[in-house]
Amino acid sequence: MKIAVFMGGTSSEKEISLKSGEAVLESLLNQGYDAYKVVLDEKNQVSAFIENEYDLAYLVLHGGNGENGKIQAVLDILGKKYTGSGVLASAITMDKNKTKQIAQSIGIRTPKAYEKVEEIEKYPVIIKPMDEGSSKGLFLCNNKEEAEKAVKELKKPIIEDYIVGEELTVGVLNGKALGVLKIIPKADVLYDYDSKYASGGSVHEFPAKIEDKLYKEAMKLAEKIHSEFDMKGTSRSDFILSEGKLYFLEVNSSPGMTKTSLIPDLATLQGYTFDDIVRMTVETFFKD
């Protein structure tokens, strides 16, 4: 079996994709797999999947075409096996607004959202891109002026109430929750890009020290989200715990796999190593 690890891309998360991809490739090679990397850029978004030889496309792509279903559609047309969620699940979960609407329809609590700045009922609010991840372009706005400025900087903004609370994330592997992790940013009140990826930018508390009932509820909600959207492989759902209530923020269909990423930490709660996650991913999506 030959495995091509696809990384890079054209989204704002390219840097993280490259780091994740290199970590996955190193793991595959250390475990004896016949693997190599393919770096995507503006010119080879489709050709890279046609011109390279591989039995399994290991997708380590974050944001943009790598996570919105378009590359998955190309692979489906080519009849190639690939890791992660399929076209529909990828496309829907990449749209934070649609994701929240569906979550609400199945009884999952989310922060109140607004379509326009004029509709905002109270401040502060969070304004972020509708279809990007890694906390890129995340704005905490305390008044109308700041909100209007943030909206102008984003192509597809989503506006929602800023809920003060504890940041939690739950990893799911093949439909089963790995555990709950609490993110404690060191530098700021927001878990932004630097807090997420800079060395020492945040503290990961796992398992999260929260009430047992809420811990179990977060696990159950993440599994429900994974199932409802028909996600495959690994997903990661983010929540805010405020005054004893869990608020669902978003779900990632292709979570980061860098040394400071959350899934590798969560995996240890089930006794899994980084290599275990990589191997299990291969075994899940490549069956003779």
What is the side-by-side order of every strand in the sheet holding 245-252? 202-205, 176-185, 166-173, 234-242, 245-252
Amino acid letter, residue 180: V
CA 224 to chain centre: 16
Neighbouring C-beta atoms of residue 186, cutoff 10 Å? 11
Which two three-digit tokens encode residue 167?
């940041």
Three-point CA angle 78, 80, 64, nearest 5°: 80
Give the number of residues written for the chain: 288
Residues with Cβ within 8 Å of 190's Cβ and at least 6 positions away in sequence, in order, are 135, 138, 140
Q: Just list the catalytic residues.
A: 13, 134, 197, 236, 238, 250, 252, 256
